[in-house]
Amino acid sequence: MKLAASLLCLVLAAGCEAARPLPEAPPGPRAVDAKLVQRGAELAAVGNCRACHTRHGGIAYAGGFAMHSPFGTIYSTNITPDRETGIGRYSEEAFRRAMHEGLRHDGEHLYPAFPYDRYTRTTDEDIAAIYAYLMSLPPVRYTPPENGLMFPFNVRAAIGVWKRMHFRPSPVRQVADRGEYLVEGLGHCGSCHSPRTKLFAEDLTRVYEGGEAEGWHAYAINEKNAAPIPWDEKAMVSYLRRGYDPQHGISRGTMGLVSHELAAAAPADIEAMAAYVVRLMKAPTPERVARARELLRDPKVSPGGSGPGASVYESACRGCHSGRGELPWDGLALSLSIGLTGESPRNLVNVILHGIPAAAGGETAPMMPGYAGALDDAQVEAVVAWMRANLTNQAPWPDIGKHIAASRKMSQDMLLFPPGGTGTEP
């Protein structure tokens, strides 16, 4: 009772600080600057706007994408220029305030599932371009489902308490390093690649050390990155733009949505982001370089061995993971995959159980069948543990069974393999 009373007091206190509403944008058509709209489209791709604001199979940008948290489910908003259900009433000033301060046009707090703690670092000029692009889209009349959040998080005023604790608006006025500016701000990479506190703020004491997003693990992208082949800028550009690199594998889950979006970003921005992320990872040690050279010479596709894990690997894995790179069926040699060397087995388990579907649009890309119906939990755990022990030099994972149980409960919308929205209604 005391805790509930304290929370209610905090909510009421926060509610007294509601921001002022802003004037609405006038109705009717807006002047269109084609170059500004194109730049806005490229920047929206960096911000991953389409993926997060499109429900599975729904119209692009119309909202309804389910974001899961320990406090319940939040559905993304409609950001088409529909005046009744979208952001058509937002003036450019209101849109900029939403990005910089996490406030709706009526002054209410936005939930931090919208990563304004990162977007706040975006320049006014880039926000103006994104606004022009979104307002150039066809308006879509669609109202997403109501959020399903527990008390007090279902009261928007409570977000004021969270913001006082975890958020400081910090717009950028001058950009010294384009890659740093995009990764730390609009690209909001830390939103997935950093651990979270109990109140779901980024843990800034462990930034970029790896995090969780929609049932997938976002690997560490600082000096703790465990990729068997150290990243360089060329490989990172390929991965960010194509979602695939022959020495690092395929992006999947939430990262698959990101790389799908980044295909539409400006090449110079991708190159700048790649350079900054590689700097975050720092230069590899001589020992790691030597290990990488050894793996490239001999990726240990067939290490031998016996037992249940080795049997599953031989029958279900080795034949398609020869490392020859003959897409779509011949995958990465698994000893080169961060899925095996990374800090969490979650993505490896997800892919074993649910597979990787064929790419949309006839593109040649890696694909894989799912084994959820062919392998039981004991077999999945055995092959995961065996591959970790025999194809890497990393310590055993202690919690594989927990990840298998959680992965089997994943809903279709959490698999996130199809790009976030088709542009048409189902």
User: Of 132, 163, 179, which residue sits at a domain end?
Assistant: 179
List the beta bridge partners of residue 356. Answer: 368
- 368 is written with which tokens? 């894989």
Residues 154 and 248 both lie in one domain: no
Q: What is the pLDDT of residues 129-173, one digit of tens each?
A: 999 999 999 999 999 999 999 888 888 888 999 999 999 999 999
When pLDDT is cut at 50, 70 and 90, the band that residue 420 belongs to is very low
CA distance 89 to 276: 37
Question: Is the residue at 336 inside a domain?
Answer: yes
| Domains: count for the chain | 2
- Among 135, 156, 179, give the residue marking a domain's end: 179
Residues 224 and 109 both lie in one domain? no
Task: Looking at the structure, tell me whether residues 316 and 247 fall in a common domain.
Answer: yes
Range with the lowest mean pLDDT among 79-83, 253-257, 299-303, 414-418? 414-418
Please state the pTM of the whole predicted model: 0.91
- One domain, residues 320 and 173: no
Q: Are residues 124 and 31 in the same domain?
A: yes
Q: What is the mean pLDDT of residues 264-287?
A: 97
Residue 18 in domain: yes
Over residues 348-366, mean pLDDT: 77
Mean pLDDT of 301-330: 82
Q: What is the pLDDT of residues 26-43, one digit of tens each?
A: 787 777 899 999 999 999
Is residue 376 domain-shared with residue 242, that is, in the same domain?
Answer: yes
- Checking if the pLDDT of 376 tops 80, the result is yes
Is residue 361 assigned to a domain? yes
pLDDT at residue 191, rounded to an integer: 96
Residue 421 counted as domain residue: no
Final residue of a domain: which of 179, 200, 220?
179
Q: Identify whether residues 224 and 168 lie together within a single domain.
A: no
Indicate whether 146 and 39 sit together in one domain: yes
Calculate mean pLDDT across residues 265-271. Answer: 98
Give phi and psi for 75, each to the nearest 5.
Answer: -105, 130
**pLDDT at residue number 56:** 85
Q: Does the pLDDT of residue 78 top 90, yes or no?
A: yes
Q: Grade residue 252 by pLDDT with cuts at 50, 70 and 90.
A: confident
Both 276 and 230 in a single domain? Answer: yes
Residues 38 and 151 in one domain: yes
Same domain, 219 and 346: yes
**Are residues 174 and 80 part of one domain?**
yes
Asked whether residue 136 is domain-assigned, the answer is yes
* pLDDT attached to residue 246: 87
Domain containing residue 347:
211-415
Mean pLDDT in residue range 323-337 = 76
Query: Is 95 within the bounds of a domain?
Result: yes
Yes or no: say if 242 and 263 are a contact pair by the CB < 8 Å rule: yes
pLDDT of 336 over the 60 cut: yes
Q: Say what the pLDDT of residue 325 is.
A: 61
186 within domain boundaries: no
